[in-house]
Amino acid sequence: MARPMIKEACIGSLLLENPYYGYRKPKDQMRSSLRNVSDLFVMGGALVLESAALLHWLERGGYGPLGMTGISMGGHMASLAASNWPKPIPLVPCLSWSTASGVFTTGVLSKAVNWRELEKQYAAETVYEEEIIRLLEYCGTDSFKMGQDFVKNSPSSLENLQHHDLTTDMINLHAKRKTMRTATVSQFSPDTAALHASTQGILLQDTSNTGCLNHQMSSTNTSKYSSTVSHEPLKRKNSQASLARESILFMKGVMDECTHIGNFSVPVDPGLIIVVQAKEDAYIPRAGVRSLNEIWPGCEIRYLEGGHISAYLFKQGLFRQAIYDAFDRFLQKYSIQN
């Protein structure tokens, strides 16, 4: 992208390497796979700050006009950075959309998420229900619109969730989590050896829950146990399905709260924004979430034929044309301040 733009339009580029990528990758991280969900939010915050610092530096050096662009996650990060710039600026986000929540919960990349580990953490840590859920003020609108689409297109590993209604308000999870927590003991085998084996390599719940489980096991007589054992598979299935469902809803809510473009300021001049999106993009789901032209009135959205990968490989010429067009609009509307 950078070299052709120099030849075609005499536009220079400053490339900002993402935190957690390339030379900024932690030693214990495998390739580009982030180890923690929170790393994505740290990355976004760092890029917004670093982009602003670089734009100020370029201005002081006499460069201009300045614009921002990026592809896929880079496009989303460019959008967040531009929303924090106090001046009109050309913006061309390519192959990105209004929120990252669908990317990790319904898109192709959702299958790469370690949901089992996240479910264990969600079940074990009360801070998620006691503090974080109450801070998610915006997430309801888009997360649960997308939840309806998720039911229709759920991953094969979660097909048993299709009978659930995902349009319930997330705040109700606070009450549900209390019920679910008291029911989690049915997920563990009453046999001591089996219980020990089932807890190897996982995040354990707090000791108060373990003590409660041991007390119930020791005080339950054989006849009472034999009368309920036939219901254990159903209880286990229902509890696991509930936990999986709530973990996905929680992820959607957190992602929307931290990455949704609607939570950030509208750029000074949305007319300088040209969004380039692929019609068959399976990585960036658009169903059930607000469109960028609704959030940024006046922006232009250009749709390309094909999917995420094919557009990245074969449509970069159209990405560059959108960049040139955005700069032309800037030059027509604003004079460069010397």
> Per-residue pLDDT for 186 more than 60?
no
> Per-residue pLDDT for 71 more than 50?
yes
How far apart (Å, rounded) are the C-alpha atoms in residues 165 and 151? 8
Cis, bond preceding 270 (omega within 30 deg of 0): no
Question: Could you tell me which residues come within 8 angstroms of residue 176 by beta carbon, excluding any fewer than 6 positions away?
Answer: 242, 246
The kind and range of the H/E element at 38 are helix 37-60
Residue 62 amino acid letter: G
The kind and range of the H/E element at 262 are none
Give the count of beta carbons closer than 10 Å to the beta carbon of residue 178: 12
Q: Provide the token pair at 268.
A: 């000074």
Asked if residues 337 and 21 have their Cβ atoms less than 8 Å apart, the reply is no
Mean pLDDT of 200-216: 33
User: Which single residue is written with the structure tokens 């936990």?
Assistant: 243
Q: Are strands 68-71 and 274-278 parallel, antiparallel or unpaired?
A: unpaired
Residue 335: band (very low, low, confident or very high) from pLDDT cuts 50, 70, 90: confident
> Per-residue pLDDT for 279 more than 70?
yes
Could you tell me the CA-to-CA distances from 273 to 90, 243, 289, 324 in Å, in that order?
6, 40, 19, 11
Q: Provide the token pair at 159.
A: 């097909």
Percent of the chain scoring above 70 in pLDDT: 67
Percent of the chain scoring above 90 in pLDDT: 48
Half-sphere exposure of 71 (CA within 13 A, CB side): 19
Which residue(s) pair with 92 in the sheet?
69
- In this structure, the dihedral spanned by the alpha carbons of residues 315, 294, 259 and 281, taken in order and rounded to 10 degrees, is -30
Dump pLDDT digits (tens) for 17-40.
989 999 999 999 988 888 888 899
- DSSP string spanning 306-328? S-HHHHHHH-HHHHHHHHHHHHH
End-to-end C-alpha distance for the chain, whole angstroms: 28
- DSSP string spanning 101-137? HHHHHTSGGGGGS-HHHHHHHHHH-THIIIIIHHH--
> Per-residue pLDDT for 156 more than 80?
no
CA 250 to chain centre: 11
In this prediction, residue 238 carries a pLDDT of 64
Residue 217 CB burial class (10 angstroms; 0-12, 13-18, ≥19)? middle
Asked if residues 67 and 91 have their Cβ atoms less than 8 Å apart, the reply is yes
Residue 200: band (very low, low, confident or very high) from pLDDT cuts 50, 70, 90: very low
Could you tell me the CA-to-CA distances from 190 to 162, 214, 259, 265 in Å, in that order?
30, 9, 43, 54
> Per-residue pLDDT for 67 more than 60?
yes
Angle between helices 73-83 and 37-60 (to 10 degrees): 60
How far apart (Å, rounded) are the C-alpha atoms in residues 94 and 96? 6
